[in-house]
Amino acid sequence: MFLAKTGLMGGMVFIGPTILLHSCKYQPEFRKKLSEADIPFLDEIGETILPETSESPGAKRANVGLFILTMVRDCFDPEEAYILLDGINTLDNMCATEYGKSFIKLSSHQKTKLIKKLQQEALLFEEKQVVEEKKVPHYFTLIKKLTIQGYFTSKIGMMTARNYLPIPGKFEACTAFKPGDKPWAL
């Protein structure tokens, strides 16, 4: 009896940590629709595309995640919304497979590497469709466009990342524009 209990306890020493480690592995969520819970995920993707610099805040501070969610819910047709949602699920699965964690938990180097990979994938995907009449966008292209649109239509994008000129203002037919100047936001 003593030997059986000792053997059982010894087995638990080896099996127990394995079970604990297995339960800690990141399991991506399968989304059926975007929700407010996805905003931090979308913010992180946006921040990787348009990161904070010493000159301007990044996409996360401009709340691009909320912008993307709103645009998908209110403005996307069902086909585009499905492409984007399926893409987000694919990206989440890619993170789980390659890194064993969520995109949010990746290092900035890993996020950048993954985004560059997606950019190349999107370019190849769209290049193959050059001759087709109805082109289907790649999900990363949709995310990138929404991130840029959300950022540059936000207060931060309009007033910090660009030179802001409120209208009505005085009319100037010619203004000096030097290399390195920010573009105007009107």
Flag whether pLDDT at 47 surpasses 80: yes
In a domain, 101, yes or no: yes
Q: In percent, how much of the chain has pLDDT > 90? A: 56
Which tens digits make up the pLDDT trace of 58-116? 999 999 999 999 999 999 999 999 999 999 999 999 999 999 999 999 999 999 999 99
Is the pLDDT confidence value at 20 over 50?
no
DSSP 98-117: HHSS-GGGS-HHHHHHHHHH
Per-residue pLDDT of 134-162, as tens digits, reads 888 999 999 999 999 999 999 988 888 88
- Asked if residue 133 belongs to a domain, the reply is yes
Q: Which residue has the higher pLDDT, 97 or 17?
A: 97
* 88 located within any domain: yes
Could you tell me which residues are beta bridge partners of residue 105? Answer: none
Is residue 21 included in any domain, yes or no?
no
For residue 58, the tally of other CB atoms under 10 A from its CB is 19
- Give me the domain span that covers residue 64: 36-161
11 inside domain: no
Local structure of residue 38 (DSSP, 8 states): G
Residue 9 pLDDT class (50, 70, 90 cuts): low
- Cα–Cα distances (Å) from 66 to 4, 44, 70, 74, in that order, read 58, 12, 6, 12
The answer on pLDDT for 44 being more than 50 is yes
Please give the sequence-ordered ranges of beta strands (E in DSSP) within the chain, or none if there are none. Answer: 163-164, 184-185
Percent of the chain predicted with pLDDT > 70: 84
User: How many folded domains does the chain comprise?
Assistant: 1
Q: Which amino acid is at 169?
A: G
In a domain, 118, yes or no: yes
Higher pLDDT, 22 or 121: 121
pTM of the model: 0.75
Vertex 12 angle, CA 16 and 19, to 5° = 20
CA-based nearest residue to 64, from 183, 186, 181, 161: 161
More confident residue, 120 or 173: 120
Give the DSSP H or E segment for 172.
none
Least confident of 22-26, 34-38, 113-117, 174-178: 22-26
Average pLDDT across the chain, whole number: 84
Q: Is residue 167 part of a domain?
A: no
Q: Say if residue 133's pLDDT is above 80.
A: no
Looking at the predicted structure, is the pLDDT value of residue 2 above 50? Answer: yes
Beta-ladder partners of 185: 164
For residue 11, the model assigns a pLDDT of 55
Task: Confirm whether 142 is domain-assigned.
Answer: yes
